Chains A and B, each alone.
Chain A
Amino acid sequence: QAGLTQPPSVSKDLGQTATLTCTGNSYNVGNQGAAWLQQHQGHPPKLLSNRNNNRPSGISERLSASRSGNTASLTITGLQPEDEADYYCSAWDTSLSAWVFGGGTKLTVL
């Protein structure tokens, strides 16, 4: 099952803004939207934004998700050391009847 495409790594300075991207197709991201997950080393993933671009309770307002066509984006403003983590996107693929994940983006805060 083909996955979603994410850049392997992004590096930004403390306090700056990072925008992570996730590209799929019209069967997944394009019509179902994408969820975003954060994973710190040694911990389970945590949902940051659901496929309707809504943040669960307790997730920082510094994070916002959006979608344009077949590409979903996660923007993190005012980068903090604790934002350094792996970020994954995921979408339900209607042609595969399966969830597909991106390969993940490692965000480094310099």
Chain B
Amino acid sequence: EVQVVESGGGLVQPGGSLRLSCVASEFTVSNSYMNWVRQAPGKGLEWVSVIFSDGRTYYADSVKGRFTISRDNSKNTLYLEMNSLRAEDTAVYYCARGDFDMWGQGTMVTVSS
């Protein structure tokens, strides 16, 4: 089945770090462009970052300098390294392929002391 599955969420203190993973099945991550999108509780969707097949990466202003998107082609996995986390980063983080034609179930990140 063609799908993506996120993991790595959890509770972290302000200023802390977390790494999210997104494992893809039945398609090749490096041949697609892949996004991270988040959704704070009760709020709308917010795009976080994208990595294109040629390796170019872009970020939302709200996470620039703190988050890093990457991929491991051998593991067919997308990552989001999150540093200097803030309370406002609390959200469900989704991995989404290309023009959002496939989404995972999401992983919850809670930043709180």
User: DSSP class of B's interface residues: helix, strand, loop or mixed?
Assistant: strand
The bracket for how many chain A residues form the interface is 20 to 34
Nearest residue in B to A105 (C-beta to C-beta)?
A: B44
Q: Is the CB of B99 within 8 A of A51?
A: yes
Interface residue stretch chosen among A10-18, A42-50, A73-81: A42-50
Nearest residue in A to B96 (C-beta to C-beta)?
A: A45
Q: What total count of A-B pairs have CB within 8 Å? A: 51
CA distance A90 to B104 in the complex (A): 18
Interface residue stretch chosen among B7-15, B45-53, B82-90: B45-53
Number of chain B residues close to chain A: CB under 8 A: 21
Choose from A46, A50, A103 the contact partner of B103 (Cβ within 8 Å): A46
Collect the chain B residues with CB atoms within 8 Å of residue A50's CB: 99, 101
Contact with B along A34-47 (1 / 0, CB 8 A): 01010100001111
CA distance A48 to B35 in the complex (A): 18
CA distance A46 to B60 in the complex (A): 22
Nearest residue in A to B59 (C-beta to C-beta)?
A: A98
Choose from A1, A46, A51, A88 the contact partner of B45 (Cβ within 8 Å): A88
Q: Which residues of B are interface residues toward A (Cβ below 8 A)?
A: 35, 37, 44-47, 50, 58-61, 94, 96, 99-106
Q: Which residues of A are interface residues toward B (Cβ below 8 A)?
A: 1, 35, 37, 39, 44-47, 50-51, 56, 86, 88, 90, 97-104
